[in-house]
Amino acid sequence: MKKTYKIEVDCANCASKMETAAKKTEGVKDAVVNYMTLKMKVEFEEGADPQEVMGRVLNACRKIEPDCEIFY
């Protein structure tokens, strides 16, 4: 399953780091962050609960940029 989320991030470098963190999160098969459109596309692993996984993704991203937001 693939979903697109609106995000708030301050710089392109942080967006790149958030993409890397999202890809390493359990339940995420692939993730792409587009800083220009402020969107994150996430492909979930089979059987993963998107709400639960996105909570973990947000926690991982906040370690990089504490004030980032992902609207899910």
Q: Which amino acid is at 25?
A: T
Note the pLDDT tens digit of each residue in 10-19. 999 999 999 9
Helix (H, G, I), strand (E, B) or coil at 69: strand
- The rounded distance, in Å, linking the Cα atoms of 43 and 59 is 18
For the chain, domain boundaries: 10-46
Over 90: is that where the pLDDT of 38 sits? yes
Half-sphere exposure of 26 (CA within 13 A, CB side): 2
pTM greater than 0.95:
no
Is 20:60 a contact under the CB 8 Å cutoff?
no
